[in-house]
Amino acid sequence: MTKIIGVAGSLRSGSLNAALLRAAAGLMPPGSELEIGTIKGIPLYDGDLEAAEGIPAAVALLKEQIAVADGLLLVTPEYNNSMPGVFKNALDWLSRPPADSARIFGGRRVAVIGASPGGFGTILSQNAWLPVLRTLGMQPWFGGRLMVSRAGQVFNQDGELVDEQVREQLKQFNRNFVEFLKN
């Protein structure tokens, strides 16, 4: 069984990216599963907090989910032409302490997708993640991109994927990412 942990980079309950992540979890190929992790509950990074209290429980849980997974799927919104601060903050916490970063990220295979209400998808946000992923020593999958534009029309009011073309693109993306993880 190929196991992927997926994380959406928005805290909003009606997030289009959380909806995309849920849709991805429901469209996995046979022999694979996508577990949904969360960045909710992760505080702003503060070295004083880390020194006084250690790694927060929400961070420790997500770290262990990533550590046992075959791959990581980042589902990123695009805020002001880049990655959301809360999402980057979560990865900053996940890389702490530095001695543990290689266990979580070193050589970890990762893919990035995203949804946006605008017409350009999340291309700038996805590109902004590349230096971060490289710094963490991850192996990004470049075999395909999924940038869902005009996502407000792709999901219904309940956050369900209703666009058949995007559904097929997501299924193909999942199949190809799982194949990348197997090799």
Q: Which residue segments constitute the domains of the chain, with CATH numbers given?
A: 2-182 (3.40.50.360)
Answer for the pair 70, 109: CB distance below 8 angstroms, yes or no.
Answer: yes
Closest CA to 159 of 14, 10, 11, 7: 14
CB neighbours of 87 closer than 8 A, spacing ≥ 6? 7, 9, 10, 39, 74, 76, 77
Q: Is the pTM of this model over 0.95?
A: yes
Paired sense of beta strands 71-75 and 139-140, if any: unpaired
User: pLDDT (tens digit, 0 to 9) for every residue of the chain, 183 residues total?
Assistant: 999 999 999 999 899 999 999 999 999 999 999 999 999 999 999 999 999 999 999 999 999 999 999 999 999 999 999 999 999 999 999 999 999 999 999 999 999 999 999 998 899 999 999 999 999 999 999 988 899 999 999 999 999 999 999 999 999 999 999 999 998
